[in-house]
Structure 1
Amino acid sequence: MKVIEIHHPYDMNQIPQEDIVLAMGFFDGVHLGHQKVIKTAKKIANEKKLKLAVMTFNQHPSIVFQKIDPDKMNYLSTLERKEELMADLEVDIFYIIEFTSSFASLPPVDFVNQYMVDLHAKVVVAGFDYTYGPKEIADMDHLPKYADNRFEVVVIEKQTTEDQKISSTRIRKELAEGNMETTNALLGYAYQVPGRVVHGDARGRLLGFPTANIQVVSGVRLPKAGIYAVKIKLGHQWHIGMASIGYNITFGDNRPMTVEVYILDFNEDIYGEQVEVAWYHHLRDELKFDSVEDLIKQLKQDELDTANYFKGK
């Protein structure tokens, strides 16, 4: 897959000189609704013997429009994770547009000309709610007029489960409630968070449960605080673990939030390792224990519950 990063206005030499099918969207999380757009575009591309290109943005448009504080914007997928998922979906060209104020100010007709026609799109595929300017003049209903028979427009209707739209907003809500099974069902894969193993206070080792303290990549959304059955990727291998998102409230108040993973049947030094944590099941909320002994007893039960959860999976 060729990844092409574009800053507006771009140099035409950046653009491959071949006709494409173009799928468009922000694709935060690349969930099942997004996958429907991309897989439909892939099917059309195969039928027409064209390359499949996907276009996304480097940041959420709401940041430029000052609707969201960039420091408070937590994504379901980093750009690196999006690239992985796009490659899995057999995308040929992945355009990442730097969403700036100058890009955002493009009139709809110019956006269509420069970012659809000039990219050699013969078919443009997007969800029913995709916009490329003010909604009242730049929605999917208006796109055929701007296309002016230069490319075909394919609109993907609303994708639902349980009579609810599959959306990034819905997934964020499920994450905030710790509903990992629903989250993963909407994504079509286990939700993953990247990070690096750093030194913590080593309290877990003293308790008999040495944990990897994970410094999560900034700007990534975490599930709600609690204890989870997870898998952690070290190098190319996945290991079963139980993870804690919380504040270690048994050991005092006003403590910083930490993400820690106890890896079952594992005893290696992994400081500095880049890891991925895949979240599968919320075991329980974070609890404040009256004694260290009570905490250790619960951790042993958590370990058993984690092993049982993954048994046979």
Structure 2
Amino acid sequence: MEVIRIHHPLDQRQIPSDPVVLAMGFFDGVHRGHQAVIQRAKEIAQAKGVKLAVLTYDHHPAIVYRPLTLADQKYLSTTRRKLQLLARFGVDRVFLVSYTGAFSAQSPQQFVDDYLVKFHTVTAVAGFDHTYGKKDVATMDRLPEFAQGRFDVETVGPVEETDRKVSSTRIRQVMQAGQIDEVNQLLGYQYRSTGLVVHGEARGRELGFPTANVLTPDNEWLPGIGIYTARLKVGAIWYPGMVSVGRNVTFGDHRPITVEINLLDFQGNLYGESVTVEWHHRLRGEVKFAGVEALVAQLQQDEAATRVYFKQLAAD
């Protein structure tokens, strides 16, 4: 997949001369709603015999318009992960634009003239609620007016799950609630985060359940507090295990949230490894136990449930 990084104003020399069908969106998470847009654009591209391209951005456009919120600083898919997913879904070319104040100051007509037309777009495809400027003006309904017959416009309706639209906002909400099973259903794949294995307090080792303590980036969403089944990727190998996102409340109050994964049947030194966590299934919430014995008994149950989960997954 070809990635063309663009900073406003556009340098036309960056842009290949061949025509494209262009899917547009920020695509945080590249969830099932986004996938519907990409799939429709892919179908049109194949019918026309041209490449499938995506126009997306390297950070939240909201950063330009308002003070930072938590949602503006965290991503369901960082730029690197988003590009991986776009490649997975068959995109040939990505126009990755740096969303700046100067870029946002364009009128809808300027954006169409200076970007969509110069990308050699034959059909522009986006979701029904996509905007490319002021929300009351830069709508998909008005895009044909700005296109002036130079390219076609295709609008994709919402994808719904349990009578509600699949959206990045909805996924972030259920992510914070720890409902990783629903997150994965809305995404259409298992959610992944990254991190670095660092030293912890070694309590897991003392309890007979050694853990890899994963220092996670501030800009990636994590599931809410709870115990989960997951896989950990080290190098090219995936290892199954169970993950705790929590404060280890059995050992005291007001402790920081940590991410600790106990790998099944693993022996080795993971300190300093850059890893990927693939989140699968929520086992339970965090519990404050009366003592170590009760905690160990619960961990044994969690391990048994984790083994059953991955055995069933392998059989499917």
TM-score normalised to the size of structure 2? 0.96
Please tell me the residue identity of whatever aligns with 1:147: A
Q: 2:203: which partner in 1?
A: 203
Q: Contact conserved, 1:71 with 1:219, CA < 8 A, in 2?
A: no
Q: Contact conserved, 2:74 with 2:219, CA < 8 A, in 1?
A: yes
- Within 5 Å, which residues of 2 pair with 1:159-238? 159-238=159-238
Q: Contact conserved, 2:196 with 2:214, CA < 8 A, in 1?
A: yes
Q: What runs of 5+ residues in structure 1 fail to find an aligned partner?
A: none
For residues 272 and 309 of structure 1, the distance between their equivalents in structure 2, rounded to whole angstroms, comes to 29
For residues 244 and 72 of structure 2, the distance between their equivalents in structure 1, rounded to whole angstroms, comes to 22
Instruction: Report the CA distance between 1:103 and its aligned residue.
Output: 0.7
Instruction: Report the CA distance between 1:261 and its aligned residue.
Output: 0.5
Q: 2:17: which partner in 1?
A: 17
Deviations 1:231-281 (A, max 9, x none): 111222221110000111111222211101100111111112121111111
Please tell me the residue identity of whatever aligns with 2:305: D
For residues 246 and 52 of structure 2, the distance between their equivalents in structure 1, rounded to whole angstroms, comes to 42
Shift >4 Å, 4+ stretches: none
Change beyond 3 A, Cα 1:168–1:288: same
For residues 217 and 43 of structure 2, the distance between their equivalents in structure 1, rounded to whole angstroms, comes to 34
Please tell me the residue identity of whatever aligns with 2:91: V
Is 2:78 aligned against 1:78?
Answer: yes
Q: Contact conserved, 1:243 with 1:259, CA < 8 A, in 2?
A: yes
Instruction: Report the CA distance between 1:204 and its aligned residue.
Output: 1.1
- Matched position secondary structure for 2:300: helix
- Within 5 Å, which residues of 2 pair with 1:22-171? 22-69=22-69, 73-171=73-171
For residues 177 and 167 of structure 1, the distance between their equivalents in structure 2, rounded to whole angstroms, comes to 16
Instruction: Report the CA distance between 1:142 and its aligned residue.
Output: 0.5
When the two structures are aligned, how many residues end up with a matched partner? Answer: 313
Please tell me the residue identity of whatever aligns with 1:99: Y
For residues 245 and 138 of structure 1, the distance between their equivalents in structure 2, rounded to whole angstroms, comes to 41
Q: 1:8: which partner in 2?
A: 8
Change beyond 3 A, Cα 1:218–1:153: same
Deviations 1:198-229 (A, max 9, x none): 12122211111111111112211111101111
For residues 96 and 274 of structure 1, the distance between their equivalents in structure 2, rounded to whole angstroms, comes to 25
For residues 299 and 113 of structure 1, the distance between their equivalents in structure 2, rounded to whole angstroms, comes to 60
Deviations 1:126-168 (A, max 9, x none): 0000001112111001000000000000000111122111111
Please tell me the residue identity of whatever aligns with 1:276: T
- Matched position secondary structure for 1:312: helix
For residues 2 and 168 of structure 1, the distance between their equivalents in structure 2, rounded to whole angstroms, comes to 25
Deviates more, 1:149-158 or 1:54-63: 54-63
Q: 2:300: which partner in 1?
A: 300
Change beyond 3 A, Cα 1:213–1:72: farther
Instruction: Report the CA distance between 1:310 and its aligned residue.
Output: 1.9
